[in-house]
Structure 1
Amino acid sequence: MGIALVMGNMIGSGVFLLPASLAPFGWSGVAGWAITIAGALALAFVIARLTVAFPAASGPTGFVELAFGRVPSFMIGWAYWVSVWTANVTLAVASVSFLSLFMPALRDHMAISTIALIWLVTAINWRGARAAGRFQVATLLIKLIPLLTVVILIPIAFGRGEPVTITPFPTEGLSFTAVSGSAILTLWALLGFESASVAADKVKNPTVTIPRATIVGTLATGILYLIVCSAIALMLPAAAVATSEAPFSLFVETYWGHGPAVWIAAFAAVSALGALNGWTLIQAEQPARLAEQGLLPAWFARTNRHGTPAAALLLSSMIATACVLLNSSKSTSEMFTFMAVLSTSVTLWLYLACAAAALRLHVAMAVAMIGLAYAVWTLWGAGIGVSAMSLILMVAGLPLYAWTRMSAPARREKAPIA
């Protein structure tokens, strides 16, 4: 279940749309994938080692508190929580968009359908981490089908009598600018490798299970992405992939047939739904961890009889619902792009903070240096506007932190009376 949580949260909607964005980069896109996978593995290794070294820290924000104190921990944790429910809106929109190919009425009621999907998955998570974990395993097995289909079709394509035209390697070599641009695009599809550590208190034997789940899940997902996305970008005409709304379906239709290609949209919908389920678990666990650290009001950590932080779960889903309503006037693609950019930029600060915390705490320092360099480079590549938006989000939560700290003594004084 730990591996399913990591892989399920990483394999969402992005990978099914990403080949279209990467097609113009050609071989530079392949290099971009390699750099992103290496950077993600470095950061995943750092988080895994921090989990082993400080198992009582309860995840990334705990590591940041140990290294830099309570205020930086709150700012990173608060921003990460924001990124989770914005990602959930993105995933719900993508899932409904894919399903609308089979049920066109959903597209006419996009906001209502998206909200309904958010609350359906909220109901699953209300039943506890084990129920969410079972659903995660089931959806992961389904969402791997289109990825493995592409992997299987690659040798079949080369074994046919008709020659396969491969995009030629550029005679002038790879462009650093193009590689940087493609690497930034690939990061959205690899977000989520920290998921197991965020849910540390729901995992048996976390010092062993979480590092294994984190590294195995990140490596397996990275290899799949590298093979599949590179094949689609290099084995099809770049212009056709770049203008395609369903590049996976285009590949399957080219090397298999129209019938199987149609079902790719259904698998993509399940993929987004599975990721939505995993991130809904995180959107409840993250504020609960902050509450346990005394960084948010204590009621965020209160659980129902299934062990779910019920108040945090419901509040997060209500905020996600509000995001859908506030952006209902935007087109599907506009809503998806806005939420994806916001979620990616904010999560980058979490990765940067974990790498810096490892250096401060003298954990896996050589790898932490690589992870820190990668996080800084990607944040720089994301643009100054996006980075500024992320910082504003962090600062916006400080009044709540101040209120929590001021009311904490009052709660401690009243505790004996209660």
Structure 2
Amino acid sequence: MKGMSVALDEETIRERAVAFLAGHDPGDRLEFLRARFDAGLAWVHFPEGLGGLGAPRELQNVVEQELAGTPQLDTGVQAIGLGMAAPTILTFGTEEQRRRFLRPLWTGEEIWCQLFSEPGAGSDLATLGTRAVRDGDEWVVDGQKVWTSGAHHSRWAILVARTDPDLPKHRGLTYFVCDMHAPGVEVRPLRQITGEAEFNEVFLTGVRLDDSLRLGEVGDGWRVAQTTLMNERVAIGGAPVRRGGGMIGVVAETWRSRPELRTHDLHQRLLRLWVEAEVTRLAGARLREQLSAGQPGPEGSGMKLSFASLNQALSGLDVELRGEEGLGYDDWTFRRSDSVDFFGRGPGYRYLRAKGNSIEGGTSEILRNIVAERVLGLPSEPRVDKDVPWKDLPR
């Protein structure tokens, strides 16, 4: 009960999940998910009333075990909302914003995308030029964003815009929730190497956002964005994987089923990658344990860096193991993908799509800088533009 201190251990959470399942029909997917959120079994580590119970994060595994086989989230379509928007809204949102956005975000009634990168501000995100100018109780936004996954089916977006060009680049930014259905929002597809268009470019022309859609204080957008970015890297590179699962499992199965393709060199490469995959898996488990004590830190950048390198090496080895068959590609038809179907497609798709792993969610080059400076404590690179007003930077 609210207001009462209840010990939320593994057995208590299990009993709650069992009781919830006994009292709710999983046949109605949406109503079941809504009820699960209201029961605090969406994110058990979130506060009561916001999809959680204020329990330790690791107890979510108990809920998932008991509710296996019931309606589940579409993590491909909902990844940005679940992994990036939700923790940012929880950390910086007002109580009204949390109650408005978190429930339909979790149930999948409202899909989210991320309006961060721009044509001239990718790796150096703080140089972004999309402007938000205050007009009474509203902000008028003009600019262009790029590489926006899922913008074509999103209801809301997390947006960083420049509100004060007279300040240095990191200090003149403000963070907003953007209505993707607002007048002035235009979404155009970007066709990828796979032939698909899960990415988009988004043009914002005179888009009016009420000040109630601002997350955090005016000018504090960079700090808010750091919460999003750190959670993004964990969401991409730190997802739970069983031993021998993920891409290493796909390659190992190819190795077992196609003995005629085996060579000593390929065997040695597979063994090295198996060890690397296991190290990465265990490091991910350790990172998730650290997350139970608070927000993700720069260690998530190391996980995402390792994930990208490993996924590219494994998808390449999978193609080699399959010989001529690996050179085929199943579908070059242009289509608007809803999500990344990495394991539901063939080796050619996996090989091509994995090339994006070292770009999306922070390029590997930038992540190496973060690990060097914030994890290893090495000297930072010289930054001559750090204290220069944004309007005076060369572009």
- TM value normalised by structure 2: 0.30
Q: Greater Rg, structure 1 or structure 2?
A: 2
**Higher strand fraction (1 or 2):** 2
Relative contact order: is structure 1 or structure 2 higher (C-alpha 8 Å, sep ≥ 6)? 1
